Amino acid sequence: MNKADNFGIVHNLPFEEYQQISALNQSTLKRWFSSTPKSNDGYKNLQALRFGSAGHCLLLEPELFPERYARAPDGMRQRGKIGKIRWLEFAEQNPGKIMLQANEWERLQNIQTVFEIHPQIQKLWSKGNSEVSLFWQDSEFGLDCKARMDWYDPDSGVIVDLKFTNHIGKADAQKPLQDFYAVQATWYIRGVSQLSKNTADFFFVFIEKYAPHQISIVPVSADDLVLGKQKIALAINNISNSNN
């Protein structure tokens, strides 16, 4: 798939192919909030990222979960010389799969149960599709752009993004939304609007990683979108200046 020839709303595009397409996305914008781009890689918790990726797969693409992930035996950890050897041996027995600790696996199964019986989640997920990709040439900035939505229902114009959090109380308190969240919501809505001429509504679904796995559904407000638009313009200006 070549970016210049395939602008539009794309379903069933493997994430690996999406990543290979060169276009501006919200992750790049976030690094350019200041004139000096920042890399967050050194600050990311790899274990948290792994858990979040596994959670997205289980909730959004459950049929792919057993193909991509394997449950380590009870008590197995990547700790100490013996633990690392045993973990490597188990990984070799499951080629191509990402290893999850037994407690991570069980928490994800419990989250799936809570997720599937939550009444508001059932309503949001009654129609639509997961992992929907957007590719557009932005009418204001003249740039090739892309986005990857966790869930999108074109009939109702609803976009949903999943976030895993340690404490749901912190997620509930994030009004107005943090800059990063505001930019993500604004960017996705911008893509849908330019491709379909429809205005979308955006909801963040915060899911607690630990029992009782509470869920909070946070709508994006008009003020959040104003903030997001300002941050996007600032980031693109910084990118432009860096190229001059």
Q: What is the pLDDT along the chain (244 residues), one digit of tens a residue?
A: 444 457 899 999 999 999 999 999 999 998 898 766 665 554 356 778 889 999 999 999 999 999 999 999 998 888 888 888 888 999 899 999 999 999 999 999 999 999 999 999 999 999 999 999 999 999 999 999 999 999 999 999 999 999 999 888 755 545 456 888 999 999 999 999 999 988 899 999 999 999 999 999 999 999 999 999 999 999 999 998 887 6
Is 179:231 a contact under the CB 8 Å cutoff?
A: yes
Inter-residue contact 175 to 132 (CB < 8 Å):
no
Q: Is residue 120 within 8 Å of residue 217, measured between CB atoms?
A: yes
Predicted local confidence at residue 42, as pLDDT: 45
Chain Cα centroid distance, residue 218: 15
Give the SS3 label for residue 243: coil
| 202 SS3 class | strand
CATH architecture for residues 7-242:
Alpha-Beta Complex (3.90)
Q: Specify the pTM.
A: 0.88
pLDDT at residue 211 in the model: 94
Strand, helix or coil for residue 76:
coil
C-alpha span between 24 and 146 (Å, rounded):
6
Show me where the domains of the chain are located: 7-242
pLDDT at 171: 54
**Edge-first strand listing for the sheet containing 8-10:** 8-10, 129-137, 144-153, 158-165, 201-208, 215-219
The per-residue pLDDT for 177 is 63
Count the Cβ atoms, other than its own, within 10 Å of residue 241: 10
* pLDDT of res. 43: 39
**C-alpha torsion sign, points 216, 222, 223, 228:** positive
Cα separation values, 165 from 96, 112, 117, 154, Å: 27, 15, 19, 28
